[in-house]
Amino acid sequence: MEIEVVLGNIVDQQVDAIVNAANHTLMGGGGVDGAIHHAAGPRLSEACAELGGCDVGDAKATPGFDLPSRWVIHAVGPVWSGGSRGEAGALASAYRRSLEVADSLGAKSVAFPAISTGAFGFPEAEAARIAVETLRSTRSRVELARLVAFDHHNLRLLRREVARTARLSSTSAGQAASSSRIREDLVAAVRTVFSPKDAEDVLAWLRRLDSDRLQVAVVIGAMWRGKPAVSKIRAGVETALTDYRDVLMNEYDERIDYKAELKRLGLDRPYPVD
């Protein structure tokens, strides 16, 4: 998916679908929401009334009516409440669900406003990061995601995030070839240290983590901190992963609190293999 950033008015975008920063009623409001309802004409409100509202973090679609775009995807972002009530996750969900709805419509180009940054008060820099990271990480058949900035400050924030994530994507692509080998070496280390039955149990335990690379990163992080859950595979893992440790830790060390991650996953107690 190509991501581009422009300065402009969301209602003027010549794309298959535009995203409306809606409220949960879907019946119009101020800012982007009001502008889209005004430009689309009264039939948009009639169509929205039939949808029965929309939950925060979700999205629903209507025709675009008098707009240049064929569809409007109404995404409901969160109201900012200090960041402790799941606002980041809800905002990411609103972008993710917009792409899913776009896929269901067959839309190949979608224009997004800066969801939740107006009257809902979401900090602009954090919202820009979430928007771009979510678009980068969500699988979709959309070919063009256009982020429409409402002023030059918002434009700079969005362009910075697009450039930053592009560099990260390039780095990740260069590391992808080693990812499968890292996992193979981890599996080999486990099977070397444990009996066949215990090895399969340990590997099943590791698969509970979010990804192959995260499995290895959390194991190494726990091992360095002397967690008993991985004490029996210490020698095997150290031997197998020496060549890859720097790559893994450079990617994950600043992003993962190993102690909190192990506790969240229920892995802070010793693995019962004895």
**pLDDT given for residue 196 in this prediction:** 74
Largest CA distance in the chain: 70
Q: How far apart, in whole angstroms, are the C-alpha atoms of residue 199 and residue 217?
A: 19
- Residues 226-250: tens digit of each pLDDT: 433 444 444 444 444 444 444 444 4
Mean pLDDT for the stretch of residues 35-48: 97
Q: How far apart, in whole angstroms, are the C-alpha atoms of residue 1 and residue 111?
A: 13
**pLDDT given for residue 42 in this prediction:** 96
Q: What is the CA radius of gyration of the chain?
A: 23
List 16, 33, 58, 185, catalytic entry: 33
199 vs 166, higher pLDDT? 166
Mean pLDDT for the chain? 78
When pLDDT is cut at 50, 70 and 90, the band that residue 165 belongs to is: confident
- Residues 86-122: tens digit of each pLDDT: 999 999 999 999 999 999 999 999 999 999 999 999 9
**pLDDT given for residue 197 in this prediction:** 72
Domain 2-150 classification at class level:
alpha beta
| Residues, the chain | 274
**Residue 64 CB contacts under 8 Å (≥ 6 apart), including other chains:** 17, 18, 40, 44, 70, 71, 72
**pLDDT given for residue 243 in this prediction:** 40
- Residues 5-23: tens digit of each pLDDT: 999 999 999 999 999 999 9
Beta bridge partners of 20: 74
Residue 180 has pLDDT above 50, yes or no: yes
- Residues 204-220: tens digit of each pLDDT: 656 654 444 445 555 55
For residue 252, how many C-alpha atoms fall within 13 Å in the half-sphere facing its CB?
23
When pLDDT is cut at 50, 70 and 90, the band that residue 185 belongs to is: low
33 catalytically annotated: yes
Domain ranges for the chain: 2-150, 177-264
240 vs 54, higher pLDDT? 54
